[in-house]
């Protein structure tokens, strides 16, 4: 647990450092990361920062990926939507360097990263900032006593709902059946989200234009099935 201002915040990730890295991988921590990381003074966790504050220029559509691993999906969607803006959070240093080392100069201006808990950024953003939220293969925390660490929780869904724009899309995937059931149950119980699935094919089939990360492909090779859960942020009630 980390103390943050007046409330205790549960940080949900585990390890930060894995295998030792080659110098080329480490170099991006001194070159690209300082240019594209969200500055600490912006991480107020006071829900007061606009996407434009984080980027230093106007932002229209904003995609946010929580726990991007080595960033394959984030790179892919950046290629698909070159005019949009992107924030990726990943505390695992090997994942962050894997993502950053793929950029060639000039490094695009339309993304920001955070090498720590995604909640620190989400809690800093003002309401209705995010158009697309991706939570792909989150850590399953299989033991019951660890379920409270799961990123898709009633408490965090309130945060996701607050930062998402009306009609915004949240995508969750997993190849752990029990986690899929957990994520659906938690999310449909949250009054702010509507699950878009109408039939089982909708959660068993990848959305159009989907790219599989290595993590997803490994699961498929091992015989596991990927579940794709898509939700819409319901419109906020307008007070009269």
Ligand X SMILES: C[S@@+](CC[C@H](N)C(=O)[O-])C[C@H]1O[C@@H](n2cnc3c(N)ncnc32)[C@H](O)[C@@H]1O
Residues that bind ligand X (CB under 6 A): 12-13, 66-69, 89-92, 95, 117-119, 136-139, 151, 213, 215
Of the residues 60, 139, 175, 202, only one is catalytic, namely 139
Backbone angles phi and psi of 187, in degrees to 5:
-75, -40
d(CA 92, CA 105): 24
Tokens of 89: 């959070």
Note whether 160 and 131 are within 8 A (CB).
no
Interior/surface letters 137-150, b for 16+ CB within 10 angstroms, e for the rest: bbbbbeeeeeeebb
175: preceding bond cis by omega (within 30 degrees): no
d(CA 236, CA 221): 42
Least distance CB 65 / ligand X (angstroms): 7
Least distance CB 239 / ligand X (angstroms): 33
Q: Is 139 tagged catalytic? A: yes
Q: For ligand X, which residue has the nearest CB?
A: 67
Least distance CB 215 / ligand X (angstroms): 3
Least distance CB 203 / ligand X (angstroms): 16
Question: CB atoms < 10 A from the CB of 99, how many?
Answer: 24
Conformation bin of residue 209: beta by default, left when phi > 0, alpha when psi is -120 to 50: left
Least distance CB 92 / ligand X (angstroms): 4
Q: Between 95 and 168, whose beta carbon lies closer to ligand X? A: 95
Q: Between 99 and 231, whose beta carbon lies closer to ligand X? A: 99
Q: Between 166 and 181, whose beta carbon lies closer to ligand X? A: 181
Instruction: Output the CA–CA distances (angstroms, integers) from residue 211 to 74, 95, 96, 136, in the order listed.
Output: 10, 18, 19, 12
Q: Between 13 and 228, whose beta carbon lies closer to ligand X? A: 13
Q: Which residues have C-beta within 8 Å of that of residue 128, sequence separation ≥ 6?
A: 163, 164, 165, 166, 236
Q: Between 116 and 131, whose beta carbon lies closer to ligand X? A: 116
Active site residues: 139
């Amino acid at each position: 647990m980390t103390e943050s201002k007046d409330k205790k915040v549960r940080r949900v990730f585990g390890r930060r450092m894995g295998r030792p890295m080659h110098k080329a991988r480490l170099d991006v921590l001194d070159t690209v990361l300082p240019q594209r990381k969200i500055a600490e003074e912006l991480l107020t966790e006071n829900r007061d920062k606009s996407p434009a504050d984080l980027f230093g220029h106007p932002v229209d559509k904003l995609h946010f990926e929580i726990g991007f691993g080595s960033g394959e999906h984030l790179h892919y969607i950046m290629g698909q939507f070159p005019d949009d803006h992107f924030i990726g959070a990943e505390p695992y240093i090997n994942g962050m360097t894997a993502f950053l080392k793929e950029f060639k100069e000039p490094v695009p201006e339309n993304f920001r990263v955070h090498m720590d808990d995604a909640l620190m950024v989400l809690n800093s953003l003002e309401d209705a900032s995010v158009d697309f939220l991706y939570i792909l293969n989150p850590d399953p925390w299989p033991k019951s006593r660890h379920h409270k660490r799961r990123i898709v929780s009633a408490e965090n869904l309130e945060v996701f709902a607050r930062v998402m724009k009306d009609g915004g899309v949240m995508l969750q995937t997993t190849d752990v059946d029990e986690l899929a059931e957990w994520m659906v149950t938690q999310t449909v119980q949250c009054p702010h989200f509507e699950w878009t699935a109408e039939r089982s094919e909708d959660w068993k089939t990848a959305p159009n234009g989907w790219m599989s990360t290595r993590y997803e492909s490994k699961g498929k090779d091992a015989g596991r099935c990927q579940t794709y859960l898509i939700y819409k942020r319901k419109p906020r009630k307008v007070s009269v």
